[in-house]
Amino acid sequence: MAKNIAVLGTGAIGSSIAADLTKAGYDVVLIDQWPAHVEAMKANGLRVTMPEEEFVAPVRAFHLCEMKDLHGAPPRQFDIVFLACKSYDTTWLVEFIKPFLKSDGVLVSTQNSLNDEWIAPIIGRERDVACAMELSAEVFEPGRVKRNTDRLTTKFVLGELDGSVTSRLQEVADVLSAVGQTHLSTNIWGAKWTKLVLNTMVATRAAFDVSQQDMIENPEVLDIVTKLGRETAQVGYALGHILEPILGLTADDLLGLTDEFFKKFILLVFSHTGRNSTMIQQDIAKGRRIETDYINGLVVRRGREGGVPTPANQAITVVLQQIEEGALCPGLSNVQLVEQCMSRITATA
């Protein structure tokens, strides 16, 4: 059955998804709030550079303000909306797209963080399909995306919020199989917490301006990395979630939460993404707002709910916020600041 599909938010992730779906022959509309990017896609299509491939997808791109005129009144409605915006733009964009989503349509959050928690109250749990993904890409120029993971190393884990396996879940997986490897989960919240563990750990790259190798070989950095991951996992467990073995991990890997586990976790992801900057690093380079409050900051807030101390996540959040405000620059000198902040937090707890 043909599906009317929208990709809302066409930065690095959204552009990668939209280009592959268009290339596969799906009926896709791209919607974005970056005017120059939309105009470039309208004029020249969307150029995608991948590790072993480059192509131009002749996409149909729209500014937000153009959506009211899309195919007349009432407006066209979509079977599937892939949401790929920053977490801080989630609620208003979900409200924006809600009238364009069919009553039996679904919205899929292809984002970091636990966005389904604030998406479901807006559109209803029955129209929300959750996703944990591994897709690395970069956009620094309108109309062009550099995708770092190919279709074999791009992964989507999909699940219903209640843990059931449905036909519509398989339909979404079938669509996304044009972009990467797809897996269905009966424990999607556990999968999303596993991805959150990773996201909190790699925040160190943005704070300390370190390479992937430095994260492993610098003892002080690795210590902070493992503390971030361990805190996040402990908060998830305290809130009743069982971490899901995704991204190449096994169930045995998740049992001990040892230092070796966190090192293996990092190396697994780095083997897929190569030597590329993280989303937070890209946002800092662009002078854009960063998502720290929805990653490490979220762990701090949930830690308070679950009674789990999170000094490492709290300290890295403070430092990254100061970098965002221009009070600090990324660099290894921030390692000492994080350590000092953790000590103060622990002493006053």
* pLDDT-wise least confident of 23-37, 65-79, 193-207: 65-79
8-state DSSP, 292: G
Is the pLDDT assigned to residue 207 strictly greater than 90?
yes
Residue 21 or residue 140, greater confidence: 21
Same domain, 156 and 215: no
Query: 160: helix, coil or strand?
Result: strand
Q: How many domains does the chain have?
A: 2
CATH of the domain at 8: 3.40.50.720
Amino acid at 135: L
Instruction: Tell me how far apart the alpha carbons of residues 28 and 22 are, in angstroms, rounded to a whole number.
Output: 6
- Decide which of 186, 211, 239 is a domain's last residue: 186
Is the pLDDT assigned to residue 1 strictly greater than 50?
no
pLDDT at 275: 60
Is the pLDDT assigned to residue 17 strictly greater than 90?
yes
Same domain, 9 and 68: yes
Same domain, 141 and 205: no
Radius of gyration of the chain (CA): 20
Is the pLDDT assigned to residue 115 strictly greater than 80?
yes
**Average of per-residue pLDDT across 303-326:** 96
Q: What is the mean pLDDT of the chain?
A: 91
| pLDDT band of 72, cuts 50, 70, 90 | low
Is the pLDDT assigned to residue 68 strictly greater than 60?
yes
CATH of the domain at 231: 1.10.1040.10
Is the pLDDT assigned to residue 135 strictly greater than 80?
yes
Strand 144-147 to strand 137-141: parallel, antiparallel, or no bridges (unpaired)? Answer: antiparallel
Is the pLDDT assigned to residue 272 strictly greater than 60?
no
- Decide which of 136, 151, 186 is a domain's last residue: 186
Give the domain extent around 236: 190-348
DSSP per-residue codes, 199-267:
HHHHHHHHHHT--HHHHHH-HHHHHHHHHHHHHHHHHHHHTT------TT--TTHHHH--HHHHHHHHH
Same domain, 94 and 42: yes
**Average of per-residue pLDDT across 147-171:** 95
Same domain, 198 and 176: no
pLDDT at 287: 87
The rounded percent of the chain whose pLDDT value lies above 90 is 74
Tokens of 291: 């998502």
pLDDT at 349: 73
* pLDDT-wise least confident of 72-81, 221-230, 279-288, 310-319: 72-81
- Decide which of 186, 215, 247 is a domain's last residue: 186
Q: Which residues contact 167 (CB under 8 A, 6 or more apart)?
A: none
Nearest Cα residue to 58 out of 75, 71, 41, 74: 41
Same domain, 32 and 94: yes
Same domain, 199 and 182: no
**Average of per-residue pLDDT across 6-24:** 97
Same domain, 177 and 198: no
Tokens of 78: 């979509």
Same domain, 123 and 255: no
Is the pLDDT assigned to residue 277 strictly greater than 80?
no
Is the pLDDT assigned to residue 256 strictly greater than 80?
no
**Burial class of residue 77, CB neighbours in 10 A (0-12, 13-18, 19+):** middle
Same domain, 21 and 167: yes
Is the pLDDT assigned to residue 234 strictly greater than 60?
yes
Instruction: Tell me how far apart the alpha carbons of residues 98 and 77 are, in angstroms, rounded to a whole number.
Output: 9
For 27-48, how does the pLDDT look when each residue is reduced to its tens digit (9 = 90+)? 999 999 999 999 999 999 999 9
Residue 142 or residue 212, greater confidence: 142
Q: How many CB atoms lie within 10 A of CB 41?
A: 27
If you count them, how many residues does the chain have? 349
| Distance, CA of 236 to chain centre | 18
Same domain, 311 and 210: yes
Same domain, 137 and 194: no
* pLDDT-wise least confident of 69-78, 144-153, 320-329: 69-78
Instruction: Tell me how far apart the alpha carbons of residues 68 and 70 are, in angstroms, rounded to a whole number.
Output: 6
| pLDDT band of 302, cuts 50, 70, 90 | very high
| pLDDT band of 70, cuts 50, 70, 90 | low
Instruction: Tell me how far apart the alpha carbons of residues 249 and 183 are, in angstroms, rounded to a whole number.
Output: 14
Q: What is the pTM of this model?
A: 0.92
